[in-house]
A and B are shown apart, each in its own frame.
Chain A
Amino acid sequence: MLGFAHALGFGLVTSAIVGLSAVALSLQFSVVPIPNFTHGEFLTIGAYAAFAFQTVTNNLILDALAGVAAGTLLALCLNWSLIRPFSRIAKNVVVLVVVTAAGSQIIESLIAMVFGANDVNVQVPPNVQIAHSWGPFLWTNLDVVIMIAAVLAMAILHYLLHYTTFGRCQRAVADDQSLALAAGINVDRVIVLTWGITGALAGLAGVALASTVGSFNNLLGFNFLLLTFAAAIIGGIGRVYAAIAGALIIGCATEIFGYYGNSSYKIEFALVLLLLALLLRPRGLFGPQRVAV
């Protein structure tokens, strides 16, 4: 039973990272309905920014903020350079996906050029990496910090979406873009800000991921992309709060499967869940089965 609790504990940490990434993806999808294959690179650039900023300071919080800033910047650049111009000329969503996939390949290669092909790692002080018992769970201080950061980020996002003018506009645009436009909402501005928040959350997820995996390379985020899709889609893509539930399902299911089954196939187990979800309930497990796009 203790083993199960430990596995659940690891699952919650995984859920926190997947959740940051999946909420970011879902938030973007709610106003720009494109399965963004460059999303993984937001995480990668966040991780590398934290890595690079470590030469300046060893303060992990400041390094994380560098990652957040890098993710934000990349998301804004991506929207400005690829998504917005191509959305105007291509109506076919498959073409837009190809555009983001091409963008992802370019960014991956550029990162490998700048930082080299070898693995790098974000240095974490050894004293935060010692696991101790927190009730039935076995967490390191780093794990706890990651979970607190994720919950904080979600709380801030919730505040932004529900208690600010931007949030009301954002939800209006997500609900019905043309109606929002008719109501005088500056849709372009909302979209740009949404990309910014998406990049920030994904950058934070990248730093969290990098600090837990040890060493990583330019494929860090791309390899995490399918898990992100899994969480976002299982919740019902484009629905921000459902993505949190999706992340909890994916994160806990992988770690619990890893505990009872073969741990080298735990990611594959999550992807099987995604396949089943896509084939059986293509519009997500929760909420009305309306067309999400």
Chain B
Amino acid sequence: MLLYSLTAAVFAGLEIMLALGLNLQYGLTGMFNLSYIMYMAFGAYMTAVLVLPPAKAPFSFYILGSQLPFPVALLGAMLVAGVVAALVGVIIVGRRVRAEYFLIVSLVIASEAAQLIAQDRSLFNGFDGLFGVAAPFPQNFTSLETGLAFVALVVVGAGATLLVAEVIRRSGYGRMLRAIRDDEVAALAFGVNVFRARLTIYVVGAVIAAAAGSITMVYVGAFSTAGWTVGETILALTCVIAGGSGNNWGTTIASVLLVGLIIDIVMQLLIPLLPGMGANPSIVALSQVIVANLLLLAVLRWRPQGLFPERVRRMANVAGGAPMDERGRGSQS
């Protein structure tokens, strides 16, 4: 039970990182990016090939196999994801692609990448994925100590992510991003370089996702394209929207409540107790998906601004029209 709650804590922490990265993109900048999970996958794969010994040819194929220590691999994974995101972002963020088309473009990019990695065995062992990655802690740790060490690791990771996200949100840069989200044309008119700002946030989000993927890899020990679904992005988005789009603390709390408490503890324990639920072993996973999505719909229906709405400082509403926020000052800072 204690060990299990440690597991739930680690997954909640990883979800905080993922959701905060997505909050920067969707909540703050207004980009709904379905390729988000691709960068988590890159983070996981890169970490694995940097940590693992070289591939044993007939059984597994992958690049590198550098046997580096985990911290180096983490940084390497974030770096690679950032570079890939910059290259992909230049293509897909730059055009005047409407929001719903950006969504489809990003989904296509992610599914193409998943197919390439699944079918080309030489890169990351194809469909089977990579496995056998050890925890980055001393061998003589007990399972309790390892669990606690992982909790410490995700606390540091989630804390660092929260710090970065809050610094961006509070800065003049964050104001500029909100201006782009709320009225792109007005932001353009004030001289904001919308393309560069979106591209930057696309890359920052990707780096955060890669860090989460990297920790996921050393925690779970295995990763394949099966763990790479649209549903993962939607789950992170649920945390963002439920917490209040644009509010980092709200996103954090929602991630803990939704993933840590509801999905990993309440549902994992309660559903097997229901009568007739033992027959189908995947029933827990399926009902977790259903409940998470129903919660998303419920929030969007009855509380679209989220549990903790983003606080917007408003300027005096002289004209009696729509309330103004600080978008005018964004371009000067």
Residues of A within 8 A of B (CB): 34-35, 82, 85-86, 89-90, 93-95, 97-99, 101-103, 105-106, 108-110, 112-113, 116-117, 226, 229, 233, 264-265, 267-268, 271-272, 274-275, 278-279, 282, 293
The answer to whether A93 and B99 touch (CB under 8 A), given A98-B237, A109-B286, A113-B283, is yes
Beta-carbon contact of B296 and A95 below 8 Å: no
A-B contact pairs, 11 of them (CB 8 A): A35-B100, A101-B230, A110-B290, A113-B283, A116-B280, A117-B282, A271-B112, A272-B112, A274-B104, A279-B95, A282-B95
Least Cβ–Cβ distance between B151 and chain A, in angstroms = 29
Q: B98 at the A/B interface (Cβ < 8 Å)? A: yes
Beta-carbon contact of A279 and B97 below 8 Å: yes
**Chain B binding site: helix, strand, loop or mixed by DSSP?**
helix
Chain A residues whose CB sits within 8 angstroms of the CB of B67 once the complex forms: none
Chain A residues whose CB sits within 8 angstroms of the CB of B91 once the complex forms: 279
Beta-carbon contact of A85 and B293 below 8 Å: no
Beta-carbon contact of A97 and B116 below 8 Å: no
**Chain A binding site: helix, strand, loop or mixed by DSSP?**
helix
Q: How far is the CA of A233 from the CA of B304 in the complex (A)?
A: 30
Beta-carbon contact of A267 and B115 below 8 Å: yes
Chain B residues whose CB sits within 8 angstroms of the CB of A98 once the complex forms: 32, 234, 237, 241, 296, 300
In the complex, the chain A residue whose C-beta lies closest to that of B283 is A113
Least Cβ–Cβ distance between B233 and chain A, in angstroms = 9
In the complex, the chain A residue whose C-beta lies closest to that of B296 is A102
In the complex, the chain A residue whose C-beta lies closest to that of B295 is A102
A109, A271, A293: which contacts B287 (Cβ < 8 A)? A109
The answer to whether A97 and B107 touch (CB under 8 A), given A105-B231, A271-B112, is no
In the complex, the chain A residue whose C-beta lies closest to that of B107 is A226
Q: B4 at the A/B interface (Cβ < 8 Å)? A: no
The answer to whether A86 and B287 touch (CB under 8 A), given A93-B100, A268-B115, is no
Q: Which 3 interchain pairs have the tightest Cβ spacing?
A: A102-B293, A109-B286, A109-B289
Known: A93-B100, A98-B241, A98-B296. 4 other contacts (CB 8 A): A86-B301, A105-B289, A106-B294, A110-B286
Q: How far is the CA of A106 from the CA of B119 in the complex (A)?
A: 28
Beta-carbon contact of A101 and B234 below 8 Å: yes
Chain B residues whose CB sits within 8 angstroms of the CB of A293 once the complex forms: 98
Q: B109 at the A/B interface (Cβ < 8 Å)? A: yes
Q: B137 at the A/B interface (Cβ < 8 Å)? A: no
Beta-carbon contact of B109 and A102 below 8 Å: no
Q: B72 at the A/B interface (Cβ < 8 Å)? A: no
Beta-carbon contact of A113 and B280 below 8 Å: yes
CB contacts between A and B, total, < 8 Å = 106
Q: B297 at the A/B interface (Cβ < 8 Å)? A: yes
Q: How far is the CA of A116 from the CA of B301 in the complex (A)?
A: 30
CB contacts under 8 Å to A, within B187-221, are: none
Q: How far is the CA of A201 from the CA of B32 in the complex (A)?
A: 29
The answer to whether A275 and B241 touch (CB under 8 A), given A85-B301, A90-B300, A113-B280, is no
Beta-carbon contact of A95 and B300 below 8 Å: yes
- Count chain B residues whose beta carbon lies closer than 8 angstroms to a beta carbon of A: 41
Chain A residues whose CB sits within 8 angstroms of the CB of B108 once the complex forms: 226, 271, 274-275, 278
In the complex, the chain A residue whose C-beta lies closest to that of B104 is A229
Beta-carbon contact of A102 and B105 below 8 Å: no
Least Cβ–Cβ distance between A113 and chain B, in angstroms = 5
Counting chain B CB atoms within 10 Å of each CB, the highest count among A94, A95, A101, A108 belongs to: A101
Least Cβ–Cβ distance between B118 and chain A, in angstroms = 10
Beta-carbon contact of A94 and B241 below 8 Å: no
Least Cβ–Cβ distance between A33 and chain B, in angstroms = 9
Beta-carbon contact of B104 and A278 below 8 Å: yes
Chain A residues whose CB sits within 8 angstroms of the CB of B100 once the complex forms: 34-35, 93-94, 97
Beta-carbon contact of B104 and A35 below 8 Å: yes
Least Cβ–Cβ distance between A265 and chain B, in angstroms = 7
Q: How far is the CA of A117 from the CA of B104 in the complex (A)?
A: 27
Q: How far is the CA of A94 from the CA of B231 in the complex (A)?
A: 16
The answer to whether A282 and B237 touch (CB under 8 A), given A98-B32, A226-B108, A271-B112, is no
Beta-carbon contact of B99 and A105 below 8 Å: no
Chain B residues whose CB sits within 8 angstroms of the CB of A265 once the complex forms: 115, 119
Interface mask (B120-148 → A, CB under 8 Å = 1, otherwise 0):
00000000000000000000000000000
Beta-carbon contact of B300 and A268 below 8 Å: no
Counting chain A CB atoms within 10 Å of each CB, the highest count among B95, B101, B282 belongs to: B101
Q: B265 at the A/B interface (Cβ < 8 Å)? A: no
Q: How far is the CA of A265 from the CA of B119 in the complex (A)?
A: 9
Beta-carbon contact of A233 and B234 below 8 Å: no
Q: How far is the CA of A83 from the CA of B321 in the complex (A)?
A: 30
Q: B111 at the A/B interface (Cβ < 8 Å)? A: yes
Beta-carbon contact of B234 and A94 below 8 Å: no
Q: How far is the CA of A93 from the CA of B283 in the complex (A)?
A: 32
Chain B residues whose CB sits within 8 angstroms of the CB of A113 once the complex forms: 280, 283, 286-287
Q: B55 at the A/B interface (Cβ < 8 Å)? A: no
The answer to whether A94 and B32 touch (CB under 8 A), given A109-B286, A271-B108, A278-B101, is yes
Beta-carbon contact of B105 and A278 below 8 Å: yes
